[in-house]
Amino acid sequence: MKGSNVRFWTMAKLRTFARRIGFVALAVTAAVLTRKIPIEQPAWQDVPLPVLGSAPVMLRVAYIENPRFASLDDDSIAAILAATATLTRNHFHTDIRFSSITRLSINDVFATIPRSAREAAEEATYRPEHGIEGRYPLIETTYNRLISDQTDEQQAMAFARPFLPAATPLTDMKSLAVALVLHQLRGLQQWRSFAAPDGKPYIDEATGFHQWSLWGAMGYGDLPWEVVITNQLIASAEYNGNSIHTALRGGVVFGSTYYNHASPLQEYSMLSTFQYQEEFSRLMALPVLKREEQVQYAAATLTHELGHLLFHFGHPYHNTACIMHPVPGFNHREHFAALEPSRCEPGSEPEMQPGAATIQFYSGWLP
């Protein structure tokens, strides 16, 4: 990698760094193997909390399409955006407006990712060939994420237990981290074995379109939008920022919020609609969602992400009435039915304070 300020990382340093990078930042960590690997000195900076005035917040929208998967027409996207505007007003007391929809090819957008950001994102992603050796840093960073989020141990184990095999031993945060990683890797292997309609696996390692970290690297390229909706399956495991709710979904990501140098807000929120499609439900043996449900649940996910983008809210895991509470597993219906804005007002608890979550960027990856 470029730069003269280079150091070698040990596992102890990796643990310290994983605690430091916090919420949704992409890490510069190539500690995928136990041997020492040279890593550029990190130059992380915090994304400032957006300053919102009294006028409605204007957000530009792009739809990034992978032709391999079922796509959304403009009317369906518009319905999701309209429902998101209503939920944002009800839950955050904030009016938002969306631009017209720009449709983009996933190949074209991924081509804009700067090389340095792409390389670091690739290095931060677990691959099957990393084997048993690669699981250890995954477990370490998952454990560190649980600790850095100040997650209550009993609440975390209670949140996870329904989605893990009945015989899974959960006694503390360390055993929980082990169980989460093993569950996540089993789920990812399932997606590698499933055949998509074109006969190829849903996870295409050659393109990396499924990698959560690469969607973060996208914000260092040419992405002049604050909201990105995609039909792409996003499912992976990273050596940085591994979350309990993503692990419990077998690595499947519903949405995320990242740094974006091309936006005045310096952030963008991504929503994947893949998990609301009939194709996903049948593969996962889940109830098939009606169109109205698909719109509602996608809008709830996007609203959740806008809570991160506009206010840097965190995750109140104990409050199931909160839209900032992550969806447990794939239980969209139960989650949506439990939402009550009056029980989770902005500022009502620590995770609902503006700035509760930290979003960072790495200046060395800017073009």
CA 280 remoteness from chain centre = 18
Distance of CA 118 to the CA centre of its chain: 17
Residue entry with tokens 């995928």 = 32
Tens-binned pLDDT, residue by residue, of the chain (367 aa): 222 222 223 334 333 333 333 333 333 332 332 233 344 455 799 999 999 999 999 999 999 999 999 999 999 999 999 999 999 999 999 999 999 999 999 999 999 999 999 999 999 999 999 999 999 999 999 999 888 777 788 888 998 999 999 889 999 999 999 999 999 999 999 999 999 999 999 999 999 999 999 999 999 999 999 999 999 999 999 998 788 999 999 999 999 999 999 999 999 999 999 999 999 999 999 999 999 999 999 999 999 999 999 999 999 988 999 999 999 999 999 999 999 999 999 999 999 999 999 999 999 999 8
pLDDT computed for residue 33 by the predictor: 28
Distance CA 51, CA 189 (A): 42
Residue 205 exposed, middle or buried by CB count within 10 Å (0-12, 13-18, 19+): middle
Distance CA 198, CA 68 (A): 7
Alpha carbons within 13 A on the beta-carbon side of 118: 12
DSSP calls for 345-365: -TTSSGGGSTTSS--EEEGGG
Question: For position 177, what pLDDT does the model report?
Answer: 96
- Identify whether the C-beta of residue 188 lies closer than 8 Å to the C-beta of residue 273: no
Q: In sequence order, which residues have a C-beta less than 8 Å from that of residue 150 and are 6 or more positions away? A: none
Nearest CA-CA partner of 37 in 124, 113, 118, 116:
124
Q: What is the pLDDT of residue 7?
A: 26
pLDDT for 4 equals: 25
Contacts of residue 229, defined as CB under 8 A and 6 or more positions apart, other chains included, come to 61, 62, 63, 64, 72, 77, 80, 270, 271, 272, 273, 302
User: Domain segments of the chain: what residues?
Assistant: 6-365
Are 269 and 228 contacting, i.e. CB atoms less than 8 angstroms apart? yes
Give how far Cα 303 sits from Cα of 25, 27, 96, 232, 251, Å. Answer: 20, 25, 11, 19, 21
Per-residue pLDDT, 148: 79
